[in-house]
Structure 1
Amino acid sequence: MTIIAIKHQLMQFFNEALLEKMARRCGFTRRLRCLEPRLFILALIQVICTGNITSISHLHQQINGLMPEKKHRIQYRPFYNQLKKSALTDLVKILVKFAIAQFVEKHLIPPPKKFQRFKNILLQDGSSFKVHSALSDPFAYRFSPSLAAVECHMTMSLFTQAPTGMTITADTASERAYLPAPETLRDQLLLADAGYVDFQYFQQVSQYGGSFVVRGGQSLNPRIIEAKNAQGKPLPKLSNLKLKDITRRKNRSEVLDLTCRRDGFEFRIIRRWVAEERRYCLWLTNLSATEFTADDIMVVYRCRWQVELLFKELKSHTNWRGFATRQKSLVENLIWLSLLGLLLRRSLARRLLPTVSLLKAANNSCIWLRPILNGVLQKAWSEIGFYLQEAKEYLSQNAFKTPQRKIRKNSTLDECLEKINY
């Protein structure tokens, strides 16, 4: 994408009249003050994404330092009152959807042939972090009633490398309740961790024409209908046994491809013996063995690591450690602002350099991203092109993907997609 096209996208997204209209519609702005919505949102994104915030007061100080004129600077109390408004959550959620529609590329990753039957591949996961203990009532912590923690439930698209949905709950909330609705998964593939095993849900996904690959827990013990090894050779002696009945003494195959049944629902379990850890790893799926071998299923599941990387970037590079506040709405607002900032940072980095290392881009956002956002904040549109060109040159020299060591190469997304396409 050209520098001019990126500049026009930024002008459209941070249009003053549009942002004011959105803010009024969701109730965040009722009368226009010296610090209008555009300046407030832009400054928050810039500081959260490119600064080093240690507290809310530090956030306030840095935002005042960004204001283009003295009249836009705001005292701490009015700033705090604006930041804790519940209507700010609604505004930022709208902006997140707008950012996905405006910046996220629809076919960022060319799907391998085996993935072309899917409209999308969704990655599901949750991640928690502690907040002020005064919030232990709305944000209960699963390991201690006196502490508080927030759980973010994320659904992410593998093809666009961007979130498609996020929900914020207490750490004690069930992860399964925030899976995508089964009826929405027609012609889509869901990848999820062991905490999401729910056979009733899997059966509904299958009935609606969806697919899944989910990591299985060690407590699984369904009855086996048919068993094969990794090469597809039938193992009739294992039929009609329970999963836990198949010990290493009974069968020495490193990988087993098992067709199982539970309450009338048939599915596959891929079981692999991990010698280094002396335990089995399990994957459940409804993908057919004629299209996806046991090795394919294990490689497909590795793609789910992308949502873990997104959470790592969200928590490590958007100042979540500075969210020490007693206000529930303020915590939620800052998390949604962090997600909005991450979307902008990732999208701009990829547009400037398609082969960019997102980790390197996030680590150095204060160098390449801050001038761009500051130019937008100051309405220096004639200079934005120069800042974008400078950012492109910086990223091409300092944020390119480096070849992985052989020991780690198999875990990269490019390598996984290559193996599936083989």
Structure 2
Amino acid sequence: MFQVPISLIISFICFLGKTKILEISKDTGFTVRRSKLLPDTIVKVFTFGLWDTPNPSLRQTASKCENIQRGLSITREGLFQRLATSALLLKQVFQSAVEYSAKRAITVQNLDVLQAFTDVKICDSSKVTLPDKLADVWKGLGGNNAKAALKIQTIYSLKSRTITNMELTKAPGPDAGYKDELLKHIHHGELLITDLGYYSKDLFRKIISKGAYFLSRIKSNTVFQIQNSDTKSFKALDLLSVLKNSSSVDIDVYFGTKYSKLLQCRLIGVRLPDEVANERRRKANKKAKSQGKTLSDYDLELLGWNLLITNAPAHMLTPKAACELYRARWQIELLFKACKSYLNLGKVGNCGKEQLECLLYGRLIAIILIFTVYSALYALMYQQKNRCISMMSFIKLIATKVEKIFSSLYATTEAISELRLILKRAAEQSLHDKRNRKTTVERLQEHYLLN
């Protein structure tokens, strides 16, 4: 019978406990006075207390604080005066939550496709629209978009299924502008998977210099060079000729033009099934027609392929395995969808700067902690029953029990038992159905990347 370890529950509760939060709050200016608002009250309310409240007012927040802190009496005005230091506190707790999650990451050793790398990380971002009055702090994207917005840059470990970093950044500008911060979280032997938003020769070059690996789709206008084995000279690759009449491709190329510093990598890919390729072409033709454009033969040929570039050698990553591995990037898309659909991540209402920071950091803390628990339960369920827990189903079920979780954040026998039962039922009810069509993770297991 599947059981949730008591140690996991105690660790979860203790992280949000008074002693831990007091320790974190020492340098934030959040003072502690007898019968006044305590720092652990703020953290519990802004994480799980307001989870099911999409656009909470200060009055609702103050009421939640009074409900869990015995003897506390605080008005919305009194809470408003504490928002600045509360935001600093929650930001510090969020940083500690990321460290907490990283230390407790559990690797699913059965996924042999991942064994070639010390970790496989996916980086992506998600935009959150904000009240217009925050445009001076968080400028929007311009045009017909909201006047205020921000991005949440997230790094997700596919191997341990945990969030290894989350950061609030400005919405304008390409994701490639995040590369310097991203590089701090990529280490020797790791593989980084990114989409086209991060497509940058400079980023790829720096990943290589760290002894790490990258895997990315290619931009259709990328110029690739190939080297003449005899003369050592370079010439532009005629990719259309290479792809025609082929079912897969795996060649050494150089990224860039002859006038720039070239980057050596592998261009790999597999041809898509006809029905998939034709559907992609139909949609692309429709979009091009609406813009008064016509797709070239080159564009149409590329739409029939999954084409990627990587610096991982062939013995570590075959073309077919690389395409399957890249499909796993959608795990982080599911993460964002779960956060916005069930954790109310983007529903902050017409709040001010400090209240916004409290809401966002509080919800990010909850996300980090829940995904840390999800990671542990995923590994245990896989090891015991050889079945996978659905991320979306697990978060959806947890969301329905958030009030019980909120009332169970205390180190008592009754609270521990209640929280343990909630997580056990959520894990068991979130198992993927047994089906003929294999999940991405199940397909990944079919490919062995090591010799």
Matched residue type, 2:366: G
Residue 324 of structure 1 pairs with residue 344 of structure 2 = no
Query: Is residue 328–residue 441 contact of structure 2 (8 Å, CA) maintained in 1?
Result: yes
SS at match of 1:99: helix
Summarize deviations over 1:5-47 as a string: whole Å, max 9, x none. Answer: 2343245323313312321222233645522111221122223
Pair 1:364–1:208, CA change in 2 (3 A): closer
Alpha-carbon distance between aligned partners in 1 of 2:345 and 2:357, rounded to the nearest angstrom? 11
Aligned 1:127-276 pairs, distance under 5 A: 127-144=126-143, 147-179=147-179, 180-181=182-183, 184-225=186-227, 242-243=236-237, 245-247=238-240, 251-261=244-254, 262=256, 263-274=261-272, 275-276=277-278
Alpha-carbon distance between aligned partners in 1 of 2:310 and 2:430, rounded to the nearest angstrom? 37
Pair 1:214–1:384, CA change in 2 (3 A): same
Aligned residue in 2 for 1:297 = 322
Pair 1:332–1:114, CA change in 2 (3 A): same
Deviation at 1:240, TM superposition (A): 6.6
Pair 1:290–1:364, CA change in 2 (3 A): closer
* TM norm structure 2: 0.78
- Alignment partner of 2:445 out of 402, 417, 420: 417
Pair 1:112–1:224, CA change in 2 (3 A): farther
Alpha-carbon distance between aligned partners in 1 of 2:43 and 2:150, rounded to the nearest angstrom? 23
Query: Is residue 255–residue 273 contact of structure 1 (8 Å, CA) maintained in 2?
Result: yes
Total equivalences in the alignment: 401
SS at match of 2:147: strand
- Bigger mean CA offset, 347-356 vs 397-406: 347-356
Query: Is residue 54–residue 322 contact of structure 1 (8 Å, CA) maintained in 2?
Result: yes
Q: Among all aligned residue pairs of Structure 1 and Structure 2, give the percentage whose two residues are the same amino acid.
A: 19
Deviation at 1:62, TM superposition (A): 6.0
SS at match of 2:406: helix
Aligned residue in 1 for 2:286 = none
Alpha-carbon distance between aligned partners in 1 of 2:317 and 2:12, rounded to the nearest angstrom? 42
Alpha-carbon distance between aligned partners in 2 of 1:404 and 1:223, rounded to the nearest angstrom? 44
Alpha-carbon distance between aligned partners in 1 of 2:403 and 2:185, rounded to the nearest angstrom? 42
Aligned 1:59-138 pairs, distance under 5 A: 59-60=60-61, 63-64=64-65, 66-69=67-70, 71-85=71-85, 86-100=87-101, 104-107=104-107, 109-110=108-109, 112-138=111-137
Deviation at 1:111, TM superposition (A): 5.8
Deviation at 1:183, TM superposition (A): 9.1
Alpha-carbon distance between aligned partners in 2 of 1:201 and 1:396, rounded to the nearest angstrom? 38
Deviation at 1:214, TM superposition (A): 1.2
Query: Is residue 338–residue 396 contact of structure 2 (8 Å, CA) maintained in 1?
Result: no
Pair 1:92–1:325, CA change in 2 (3 A): farther
Summarize deviations over 1:66-110 as a string: whole Å, max 9, x none. Answer: 4253x22421122233334442343223431353156x3332x21
Deviation at 1:155, TM superposition (A): 1.4
- Bigger mean CA offset, 194-203 vs 412-421: 412-421
Alpha-carbon distance between aligned partners in 2 of 1:34 and 1:134, rounded to the nearest angstrom? 31
SS at match of 1:168: strand
Aligned residue in 2 for 1:232 = none
Q: CA RMSD in A?
A: 3.1
Query: Is residue 43–residue 90 contact of structure 2 (8 Å, CA) maintained in 1?
Result: no
Alpha-carbon distance between aligned partners in 1 of 2:242 and 2:177, rounded to the nearest angstrom? 39
Matched residue type, 1:357: S
Aligned residue in 2 for 1:386 = 417
Deviation at 1:4, TM superposition (A): 3.0
Residue 359 of structure 1 pairs with residue 392 of structure 2 = yes
Query: Is residue 20–residue 29 contact of structure 1 (8 Å, CA) maintained in 2?
Result: no
Alpha-carbon distance between aligned partners in 1 of 2:102 and 2:252, rounded to the nearest angstrom? 41
- Alignment partner of 2:338 out of 266, 290, 313: 313
SS at match of 2:216: strand
Matched residue type, 2:369: L
Pair 1:64–1:38, CA change in 2 (3 A): closer
Deviation at 1:127, TM superposition (A): 0.9
Deviation at 1:396, TM superposition (A): 5.0
Q: Which has the higher contact order (CA 8 A, sep 6+)?
A: 2
Aligned residue in 2 for 1:333 = 358
* TM norm structure 1: 0.83
SS at match of 1:185: coil
